[in-house]
Amino acid sequence: MVRSTPRRALPEVNGDSHHYPLFRQPLCIHPAVIARGEDVVSGILLQSCYKYMEDIALTETEVVCRITTRIANGRTPYDFSRKLQQVALTVVTDENYHAYVARDFLDQLSQLRAAPPIAHPKETELSVALAETLGRLPHEFHDEFELIAVAIAENTLTREIIDLRSDRKLDDAFRLSLSDHLGDEAQHSGFFQTFLGEFWRQVHPERRAILGRALPAFLIRYLGVGIEQQFDLAVLGTFGFSHEEAQEIVEDCHDGFTLGPDHPMLGNIVRLLQTAGIMSDAPTREAFWHAGLIARGA
Ligand SMILES: [Fe+2]
Ligand SMILES: [Fe+2]
């Protein structure tokens, strides 16, 4: 949706409501964190909310806009209709606006709460996963892999916003910002689903096998918690936990994380890839199975 929305001023934040869903920040249900009291729990949730907004701004501008601009400007070796290119341009418009709104939200909230954000990582799980995957692929496959990656990211982002809104204790400001964003993202995920199918139909079978085989390692890194763990260590440090205490808490919270067919975000991505025809290629299915991301025969 091309912009015409007035600036949204943050409502006063509600008394005991959360700035970020508890289920997305396991640090806040760790006994050692709960023992430090409600102020520490809500402070960590507030910093996690800031990080979410900053991640949105980075992802929208540096990944989604950058790659989608190539689609809009016809800078891919594939044929897409003029109509599809124009819709891609509306996505770019929306995403730059989302980045602006996310940073505006962060600034308004930090002023309301008189709590500045800690230093944010300049990388996201997506940017790291993408850089590592491109590092393993020959250069002539980079542009094509990025087209798949942006479609996956846009689909996942939409699913994530829907999940985030499900916490009933979320404050109104965060819920409203998610609702604004969701309106656009629901449209984008439809666009990228169509785009991915049209793109994949044009890719030569030999190239398909190479691109498809690169997907499992990308997804394992993208849906992992590497950057999240670094952030958690930093945030615990600012709330007075020693490095050793912080490490123990972070290990407790993230240990045992394995990406498998039951992971809801992965299930969502596999469905996207199936609909686009990407999972129809035997070498790709085989690679997913070997990586433990789908069940045999799926
Ligand atoms: Fe967005
Ligand atoms: Fe989007």
Instruction: Determine the distance separating the centroid of ligand 2 and the alpha carbon of 167, expressed in angstroms.
Output: 22
| Phi-psi category of residue 76: left, alpha or beta, with phi > 0 → left and psi -120 to 50 → alpha | beta
pLDDT at res. 16: 67
Q: Residue 175 above 80 pLDDT?
A: yes
For the beta carbon of residue 289, count every other beta carbon within 10 angstroms.
16
pLDDT at res. 144: 98
Instruction: Determine the distance separating the centroid of ligand 1 and the alpha carbon of 117, expressed in angstroms.
Output: 22
Instruction: Determine the distance separating the centroid of ligand 2 and the alpha carbon of 200, expressed in angstroms.
Output: 20
Instruction: Determine the distance separating the centroid of ligand 1 and the alpha carbon of 212, expressed in angstroms.
Output: 26
Report the percent of the chain where pLDDT is more than 90.
Answer: 80
> What is the number of the ligand closest to the CA of 97?
1
Instruction: Determine the distance separating the centroid of ligand 2 and the alpha carbon of 132, expressed in angstroms.
Output: 23
Each residue's pLDDT tens digit, 60-80:
999 999 999 999 999 999 999
pLDDT at res. 256: 72
Least confident of 2-11, 182-191, 217-226, 261-270: 2-11
Instruction: Determine the distance separating the centroid of ligand 1 and the alpha carbon of 94, expressed in angstroms.
Output: 6
pLDDT at res. 15: 62
Which residues are within 5 Å of ligand 1 (an ion), measured at CB?
A: 95, 98
pLDDT at res. 195: 98
Distances in Å between the Cα of 285 and the Cα atoms of 206, 234, 240, 291 are: 15, 39, 47, 10
Each residue's pLDDT tens digit, 82-130:
999 999 999 999 999 999 999 999 999 999 999 999 999 999 999 999 9
Q: Residue 2 above 60 pLDDT?
A: no
Confidence of residue 1 (pLDDT cuts 50, 70, 90): low
pLDDT at res. 50: 97
Q: Which of 172, 236, 246 is nearest to 10 (CA)?
A: 172
Question: Per the confidence metrics, is the pTM higher than 0.85?
Answer: yes
Instruction: Determine the distance separating the centroid of ligand 2 and the alpha carbon of 228, expressed in angstroms.
Output: 22
Confidence of residue 189 (pLDDT cuts 50, 70, 90): very high
pLDDT at res. 206: 96
Domains of the chain are 23-256 (1.10.620.20)
Distances in Å between the Cα of 48 and the Cα atoms of 60, 144, 220 are: 18, 33, 22
> What is the number of the ligand closest to the CA of 91?
2
